[in-house]
Amino acid sequence: MNFNLTEGQLAIQKLAKDFSDREIEPEAEKLDKEGRLPDNLIKKFAGLGFLGMTVPKNYGGMETGNLDCILVIEQLAYSGTGAWWLVGFNNSIPLSIAKYGSEEIKNKYLEPFCSGTAYASIQFTEDGTGSDASALTTTAIPDGDSYIINGMKRFSTFGARPGYSVTYTKDDEGSCTAFVTEKLTEGYAAPKIWELMGSGGIEAADVYYDNYRVSAKNLLGKKGKGYDILLYWIATEKIEQCAACVGIAQAALDEAVQYAREREQFARKIVSFQAVQHMLADMATLVEAARALVYSVARFIDSNPKDYSKVSGMAKLFASDVAMKVSTDAVQILGGYGYMREYPVEKMMRDAKILQIFEGTNQIQRNVIGLALSKEYASRR
């Protein structure tokens, strides 16, 4: 389909595809097994202009639209690795800092994200809470011109890599307050990296804060308003995640079609069987529908609306279900070979599953969409 991309966007898309074909896809199996991205990848992404794409130029970014960024992520996710998460986090997290941070914070922290000298992390989830800010147990207590943070964070992507995190705490008044914190410094430890079902390379770490001192100047946004920042970040990061869903689904479809054209049963290519044709037709239709919705929502966000949590929730809900459905059907079409690790579709199915969970499960997305609809219809009366 023609999505009326500009020449610049087509060039960015091709640049990402060529890089992925050359440097990521050949390493996909290794990355899946080792669960760690190459140390030099972040610098390569920075050199291509893939980090801080949505960040203003005066802070080291490229100041492109969200659509440009998701075009890159879609191509990187096609590889079936977690490489796209690095581009996603080093765009969405700096963008949140650019929106809510003081000039001092923006001048200090944004350029390292854009230049590839710092890995971006988000730290909200704890062992006892996933989406409930009131259940946070990590505390930030004032101490002179600083705050002392104590507690733990779970599943912090790139939490054991050097750089900076947006860390959410419960302040002395019991409210959610966010800080920009430096990782791997005194009082910060990331002793455990979880072994994941898929998304090889994202290094989800458990992080512990032990009397970690952070300057009061590192408070992000207003005290007690951290949850607003989290919701903004989730809404922007969702659309990047949606692009990954489309990339994974497209890769699974391509593998399934190619296999069906080559595999013979009963002296016929299985692509000639109506049952297989119908599966492939449904898969292809879902992929195109997901891409159209994701691109449309990205353009909607770039038009700077006041609130896009509903539409980003719709895109995340639909695109992640598509990625799971299409990758599962690809495994089915490959039959026994689809279940073997020598064939890539089983990895695509594993990678797709986290996209139905991360940044708000699809059940939570339905809550967000439903509440937004209720408010909209109430305002029409």
pLDDT digit of tens for each residue in the chain (381 aa)?
Answer: 888 999 999 999 999 999 999 999 998 888 888 888 999 999 999 999 999 999 999 999 999 999 999 999 999 999 888 899 999 999 999 999 999 999 999 999 999 999 999 999 999 999 988 777 788 999 999 999 999 999 999 999 999 999 999 999 999 999 999 999 999 999 999 999 988 888 777 889 999 999 999 999 999 999 999 999 998 998 889 999 999 999 999 999 999 999 999 999 999 999 999 999 999 999 999 999 999 999 999 999 888 777 788 999 999 999 999 999 999 999 999 999 999 988 999 999 999 999 998 878 889 899 989 998 998 888 887
Q: pTM for the whole thing?
A: 0.93
For β-strands 264-265 and 163-171, DSSP reports them as: unpaired
Element (H, E) at 312: helix 309-334
For β-strands 268-269 and 264-265, DSSP reports them as: antiparallel
Cα distance between residue 268 and residue 248, in whole Å:
29
CATH topology (fold) of 227-379: Butyryl-CoA Dehydrogenase, subunit A; domain 3 (1.20.140)
Cα distance between residue 32 and residue 344, in whole Å:
11
End-to-end C-alpha distance for the chain, whole angstroms: 39
Residue 140 contacts residue 148 (beta carbons within 8 Å): yes
Residue 87 contacts residue 51 (beta carbons within 8 Å): yes
Residue 146 contacts residue 160 (beta carbons within 8 Å): no
Nearest Cα to Cα of residue 295 among 8, 69, 51, 52: 69
Nearest Cα to Cα of residue 117 among 36, 185, 51: 51
Q: Would you give the DSSP letter of residue 129?
A: B
The C-alpha torsion from 320 through 164 and 36 to 348, rounded to 10°, is: 10
The pair of structure tokens assigned to 148 is 């002392």
SS3 47: helix
Q: List the chain domain ranges.
A: 7-117, 121-224, 227-379
For β-strands 146-157 and 188-193, DSSP reports them as: unpaired
Given 111, 237, 359, 376, the catalytic residue: 359
pLDDT number for residue 309 = 86
Residue 322 contacts residue 245 (beta carbons within 8 Å): yes
pLDDT number for residue 5 = 94
Is 237 one of the catalytic residues? Answer: no
What CATH number does domain 121-224 carry, 1.20.1250.20, 2.40.110.10, 3.30.413.10, 3.30.200.20?
A: 2.40.110.10
**DSSP characters over 218-284:** GEESSTT-HHHHHHHHHHHHHHHHHHHHHHHHHHHHHHHHHHHHH-EETTEEGGGSHHHHHHHHHHH
**DSSP characters over 130-166:** SS-GGG---EEEEETTEEEEEEEEEEEETTTSSEEEE
Contacts 24+ apart (CB under 8 A), 63-67: 64/12, 65/298, 65/299, 65/302, 66/236, 66/239, 66/240, 66/298, 66/301, 66/302, 67/9, 67/295, 67/298, 67/299, 67/302
Please count the helices (runs of H) and the strands (runs of E) in the chain.
11, 10
* Residue 181 bridge partners (DSSP): 165
SS3 290: helix
pLDDT number for residue 84 = 95
For β-strands 204-215 and 139-143, DSSP reports them as: unpaired
Cα distance between residue 220 and residue 269, in whole Å:
59
CATH topology (fold) of 7-117: Butyryl-Coa Dehydrogenase, subunit A; domain 1 (1.10.540)
